């Protein structure tokens, strides 16, 4: 359950760097959609087509884009309403703090170092030489393998597994069921069978990363799988061994990144994208939903690709338009063929 803190519209405007038009003393204690908002909730409007929704809302205070006004509302004018709303939500709604403690059912190795301000929940298992930083929370049924490291103010939701040696920085949040540091899918075929290639590397996750439920991030084979600062990974994503993901990149659900691929900074990957092995997505590249990126392909800096095999969006749209016309074109070809003389070589 989240807890809320109350602020005045004036205080919130100062925090957001917003221009306030209205009553600076109006109380704000939460965030909501226009239809579900109470009087003390904050809502936002990022285009004029949503003004009517906001006008009908019970909310007294609205974050708006430049030069939008709503009669009867206190408005906080900003350049980017959605971003300002997210910042306001972070201030107004905070997760309920977990009291520092180690639950009596937890199994904690004597060599593990657990910060006094950390929370360790029911049935957690923490093996030898694990380090858990200040303010971190480990919820029920989590497993931290030998030598795993957890920085300050991290949160592991129930049933998260960190294999031995996995290292997480500070302010990392991992949602339920995620597995970090499992063996990569690496085999060598010979003598009539598959031989397992060594999977003895590690996983390093930098600060301010969020990892979705049931996502898996494999350890490196001989090297390190690296997740950069500020990366956001959705639910049900597979990140294979030796992958490197640069700062502030985002990966949507059901994406798979194969071994030894590299994603640069600020890369955006849509849902159900398949990235084969040894691919490179340079800084700022965007892969649209369900794109398929073949082995070794390079997506250049800032390029937007779609389709399988992935290609620049404009080319994909032109080709797709022709594909949708194939039945019509086939009919026209058949009609033209019917006009040819018998024996002229028509199909």
The catalytic residue positions are: 241
Q: Which residues contact 120 (CB under 8 A, 6 or more apart)?
A: 101, 102, 103, 106, 108, 114, 126, 132, 138
Give the Å distances, CA to CA, from 161 to 128, 186, 215, 250. 15, 21, 11, 22
Helices (H), 137-243: none
User: What is d(CA 288, CA 221) in angstroms, rounded to the nearest whole number?
Assistant: 29
Q: Which residues contact 312 (CB under 8 A, 6 or more apart)?
A: 303, 304, 305
Can you tell me whether residue 210 is helix, strand or coil? strand
DSSP line for 41-75: EEEEESSGGGHHHHHHSS-SEEEE-TT---TTSEE
């Amino acid at each position: 359950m989240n807890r809320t803190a109350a602020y005045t519209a004036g205080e919130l405007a100062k925090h957001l760097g917003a221009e306030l038009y209205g009553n600076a003393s109006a109380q704000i204690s939460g965030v909501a959609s226009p239809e579900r908002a109470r009087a003390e909730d904050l809502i936002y409007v990022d285009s004029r087509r949503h003004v009517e929704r906001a006008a009908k809302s019970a909310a007294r205070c609205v974050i708006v884009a430049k030069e939008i006004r709503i009669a009867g509302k206190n408005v906080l004018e900003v350049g980017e309403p959605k971003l300002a709303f997210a910042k306001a939500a972070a201030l107004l709604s905070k997760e309920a703090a977990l009291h520092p403690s180690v639950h009596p059912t937890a199994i904690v190795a004597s060599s593990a170092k657990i910060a006094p301000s950390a929370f360790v929940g029911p049935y957690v298992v923490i093996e030898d030489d694990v380090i858990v930083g200040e303010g971190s929370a480990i919820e029920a049924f989590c497993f931290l393998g030998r030598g795993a490291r957890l920085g300050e103010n991290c949160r592991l939701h129930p049933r998260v597994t960190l294999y031995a040696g996995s290292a997480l920085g500070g302010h990392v949040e991992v949602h339920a069921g995620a597995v970090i540091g499992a063996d990569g899918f690496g085999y060598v075929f010979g003598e009539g069978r598959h031989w397992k290639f060594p999977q003895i590397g590690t996983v390093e996750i930098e600060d301010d990363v969020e990892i979705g439920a049931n996502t898996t991030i494999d350890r490196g084979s001989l090297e390190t799988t690296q997740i950069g600062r500020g990366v956001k990974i959705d639910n049900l994503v597979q990140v294979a061994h030796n992958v490197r993901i640069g700062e502030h990149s985002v990966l949507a659900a059901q994406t798979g990144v194969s071994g030894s691929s590299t994603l640069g900074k600020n890369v955006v990957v849509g849902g159900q994208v398949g990235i084969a092995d040894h691919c490179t997505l340079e800084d700022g590249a965007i892969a649209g939903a369900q794109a398929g990126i073949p082995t070794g392909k390079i997506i250049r800096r800032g390029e937007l690709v779609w389709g399988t095999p992935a290609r620049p969006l404009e080319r994909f749209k032109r080709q797709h338009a022709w594909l949708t016309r194939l039945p019509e074109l086939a009919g026209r070809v058949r009609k033209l063929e019917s006009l040819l003389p018998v024996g002229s070589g028509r199909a």
